[in-house]
Chain A
């Protein structure tokens, strides 16, 4: 059973479009992280959100943590081909010790 459900699973858009990726769970997380992974490489941390309702911006990327700390979203404005990759959300549950629970990811393709 996947603790974190990501949607959509695949997304193919053109350069300049906006998009939102969702990460949902029925569990409460003490923190949630977003990673981007490119083929043949390990995931690279983009952001960590800790407080319910928190919004963080990283250039064209906006991350939001749900008020109840059960869900999160990633919004990309004016996507560029360099944004192409697998976007993963990962949460640390209060009762899961020192493990991160990952969603299966959203594979994003941005074409020129």
Chain B
């Protein structure tokens, strides 16, 4: 069974730009969660989608948004990028979301200059 895939793996953007990251979950998984990982804060929950509906959102500004498509693939968007948005963005797929087990993709390393 194929794992979680994330594209692109690496991204360099300039402050003020916007970015879209993509995640394809494991086949049959309907829940996709997004996390931001930084050395200082660790992994922080961004949001979770299940069957195209956002069920939970973390404590991030409105510049961070996401969506899920009918095939369970998900995208997250960050508008008006700031230097502090530089991080590893991880996507996790699950049958039904936490507390069920989550399987992570390799992440997208975003660098904002």
A residues within 8 Å of B by Cβ? Answer: 2, 30-31, 33, 35, 40-45, 48, 50, 88, 90, 92, 96-105
Contacts of B41 in A (CB 8 A): 104
Contact, CB under 8 Å: B45 / A103: no
- Asked if B66 is an interface residue, CB under 8 A from chain A, the answer is no
- Asked if B16 is an interface residue, CB under 8 A from chain A, the answer is no
Contact, CB under 8 Å: B106 / A41: yes
B residues within 8 Å of A by Cβ? Answer: 4, 31, 33, 35, 41-45, 48, 50, 55-56, 58, 90, 92, 97-99, 101-107
Interface centre among B43, B45, B55 (most CB of A within 10 A): B43
With contacts A42-B104, A45-B102, A48-B101 known, is A98 near B55, CB below 8 A? yes
Contact, CB under 8 Å: B42 / A30: no
A48 and B72 alpha carbons, distance in the complex (Å): 24
Contacts of B103 in A (CB 8 A): 45
Contact, CB under 8 Å: B107 / A30: no
A-B contact pairs, 9 of them (CB 8 A): A42-B104, A42-B106, A43-B90, A45-B101, A45-B104, A90-B43, A98-B55, A99-B56, A104-B42
Contacts of A2 in B (CB 8 A): 42
A97 and B48 alpha carbons, distance in the complex (Å): 9
Contact, CB under 8 Å: A98 / B101: no
Contact, CB under 8 Å: B98 / A99: yes
Please give me the residue from chain A that is nearest to B9 by CB atom.
Answer: A40
A98 and B46 alpha carbons, distance in the complex (Å): 11
A88 and B56 alpha carbons, distance in the complex (Å): 22
